[in-house]
Structure formats: structure tokens, C-alpha cells
């Protein structure tokens, strides 16, 4: 487990959850920028990940805390689809927030699309992103920058990023990014950070809202094996936060 604490924070509903995480994320990134002059965040796809971005877009106070020109934006996973496909996490993040804030385009690190240079070759695309990660820190010994916050939506089967239960990608201990084939959540081909890359983050924040996540949350927080519940294997170097709404927390032991 991480050296830091794991905390479970429960909010009344998904809207309150999204607003609270947006507020906390903007403060955390602003603090990182105050301390180091820069910050980095890893985005996640899905409803909760995009709701968080939309909440940030809708909150001028939270949005304006961040110096967007000094923020590095990465992705934890991507659906391996053509550039511009509205189902890409990159496209959905731009629609929810990124098009509305003054980011430095050179610091927005999209995972490669399935057309273009790596047409149809998820492994080559994954390797290219791993190379981009390794180049980010400037220190050849560092293969993944120490992300300030790495966001993860939690699937109803406890998957995070595109790491699905019992899937080979979960067992990867060397590579930082891999291609995923036969994913149970469409589309079947994806790119994903691996557990070693996820665990390089300073803080890992997991998001789950809704009744359909209650069993996954209860399983993941019950101490299962990493192959059985990938969300349980996702933790940060100094802190791991679970952000839930009441519905997703409804099957946890009485708090």
C-alpha cells in the first residue's frame, strides 16, 4: 500500500461530489504551482471524470485559482479511436473544460489516436506515450513525472483507467503505458497507464457516484487482490482519496 493515508470522503450526491472535487483539485494544483511554479494532473474519462471537469468550468472561483499556462495535463487512459472521435476521453475533456481555459497546448499531452502515425497499432501508440512521459521530467532516470494528482473513475467492475479485473495489463510491472485489447467496456481497444505509472503519482483520487458503483466500492475497499479489484491497487505515493456519493458508499460497513 501507499506510504500515505487512504481517506474515504462521502458527499450527498454526484453533483455535490463533482463540485467538491473540483474545488479541492483547483486548490491542490494552485498549491503545487505556488510551491514549484508548475503542476501536473492526469485526467480520467467517463461520467464522473467529465462531471468534475464541467464543475470546474462552471466555477470561476475554482477555475481562476489555477494558472492554466503552467499546468501539464495527461491522461490515464484513452479509447483507441480516430482523432476527433467524440468518444475519445481527450475530446470529452476538451468539451467539458479544456477548450475554455488558457492552457499551453504544448503541455496538453493527449494519448495518440488510432489513425495517423500509429494507425491501428495500439502497442506502438502506447510506447510513444511512454516515451513522452519519460521525456517530461528531464531526468533520464525518471520514466514518469511525479503527477500532483492522478484522477481515476471507478467502473462497476472495479476497473480504473483501462485496467480491468483479471486482465493481463494489470500484471505489467515494467512498462508505464500499454495497449489493451478486448476491454469489456467499449471500445475494446484502449491505451492505459499501468499500475507502476499510476503509483508514481503523489496523490491518486478515485471517483465513484451512483448505486451502480456501490458493490465495486465495497469490494475495492474490503482488501481484495489487485487482480480481482484494480481500484484497490491504485494508490499514490503520499495520499489516496476516494470521493464517493452516498449511493456509491451505500454498501460500505457502517461508518
Ligand X SMILES: O=C(O)[C@H](O)[C@@H](O)[C@H](O)[C@H](O)COP(=O)(O)O
Tell me, what DSSP letter sits at residue 113? P
Q: Is 189 in the site for ligand X (CB under 6 A)?
A: no
Shortest distance in whole angstroms from residue 209 CB to ligand X = 7
Q: Which of 14, 25, 45, 53 binds ligand X (CB under 6 A)?
A: 45
Q: b/e for 189-199, b at 16 or more Cβ within 10 A? A: bbbbbbbebbb
C-alpha–C-alpha distance, residues 102 and 142, integer Å: 28
- Interface with ligand X: number of residues (CB under 6 A): 15
Shortest distance in whole angstroms from residue 45 CB to ligand X = 3
Q: Is 153 in the site for ligand X (CB under 6 A)?
A: yes
Shortest distance in whole angstroms from residue 234 CB to ligand X = 11
Stretch that binds ligand X, among 25-33, 41-49, 98-106, 173-181 (CB under 6 A): 41-49
* Site track 89-128 with ligand X (rule: CB under 6 A), x = hit: x---------------------------------------
Stretch that binds ligand X, among 7-15, 42-50, 119-127, 131-139 (CB under 6 A): 42-50
Give the 3-state DSSP-derived string for 47-112, with helices as H, strands as E and coil as C.
HHHHHHHHHHHCCHHHHCCCCHHHEEEEECEEECCCCCCCCCHHHHHHHHCHHHCCCCHHHECCCC
Q: Which of 6, 109, 185, 237 binds ligand X (CB under 6 A)?
A: 185
Burial class from Cβ neighbours inside 10 Å (0-12, 13-18, 19+) for residue 38 reads: middle
To the nearest 10 degrees (0 to 180), the angle between helices 14-36 and 46-57 is 70
Burial class from Cβ neighbours inside 10 Å (0-12, 13-18, 19+) for residue 56 reads: buried
Contact indicator for 9, 244 with CB cutoff of 8 Å: yes
Shortest distance in whole angstroms from residue 185 CB to ligand X = 6
Give the length of the chain.
Answer: 255
C-alpha cell at 240: 489516496
Q: Is 46 in the site for ligand X (CB under 6 A)?
A: yes
Stretch that binds ligand X, among 45-53, 119-127, 193-201, 226-234 (CB under 6 A): 45-53
Q: Which of 112, 113, 145, 155 binds ligand X (CB under 6 A)?
A: 155
Residues lying near ligand X in the complex (CB under 6 A) = 44-49, 77, 79, 89, 153, 155, 159-161, 185
Amino acid at each position: 500500500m501507499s506510504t500515505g493515508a487512504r481517506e474515504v470522503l462521502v458527499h450527498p450526491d454526484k453533483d455535490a461530489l463533482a463540485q467538491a472535487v473540483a474545488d479541492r483539485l483547483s486548490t491542490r494544483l494552485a498549491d503545487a504551482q505556488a510551491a514549484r511554479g508548475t503542476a501536473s494532473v492526469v485526467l480520467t474519462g467517463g461520467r464522473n471524470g467529465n462531471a468534475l471537469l464541467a464543475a470546474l468550468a462552471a466555477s470561476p472561483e475554482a477555475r481562476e485559482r489555477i494558472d492554466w499556462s503552467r499546468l501539464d495535463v495527461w491522461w490515464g487512459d484513452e479509447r483507441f479511436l480516430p482523432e476527433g472521435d467524440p468518444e475519445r476521453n481527450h475530446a470529452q475533456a476538451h468539451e467539458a473544460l479544456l477548450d475554455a481555459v488558457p492552457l499551453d497546448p504544448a503541455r496538453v499531452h493527449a494519448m495518440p489516436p488510432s489513425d495517423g502515425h500509429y494507425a491501428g497499432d495500439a502497442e506502438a501508440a502506447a510506447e510513444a506515450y511512454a516515451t513522452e512521459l519519460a521525456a517530461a521530467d528531464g531526468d533520464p532516470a525518471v520514466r514518469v513525472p511525479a503527477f500532483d494528482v492522478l484522477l481515476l473513475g471507478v467502473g462497476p467492475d472495479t476497473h480504473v483507467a483501462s485496467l480491468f479485473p483479471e486482465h493481463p495489463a494489470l500484471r505489467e510491472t515494467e512498462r508505464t503505458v500499454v495497449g489493451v485489447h478486448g476491454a469489456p467496456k467499449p471500445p475494446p481497444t484502449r491505451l492505459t497507464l499501468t499500475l507502476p505509472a499510476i503509483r508514481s503519482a503523489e496523490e491518486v483520487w478515485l471517483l465513484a457516484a451512483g448505486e451502480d458503483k456501490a458493490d465495486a466500492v465495497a469490494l475495492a475497499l474490503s482488501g481484495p487482490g489487485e487482480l480481482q479489484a484494480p481500484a484497490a491497487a491504485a494508490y499514490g505515493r503520499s495520499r489516496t482519496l476516494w470521493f464517493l456519493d452516498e449511493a456509491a458508499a451505500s454498501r460500505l460497513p457502517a461508518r
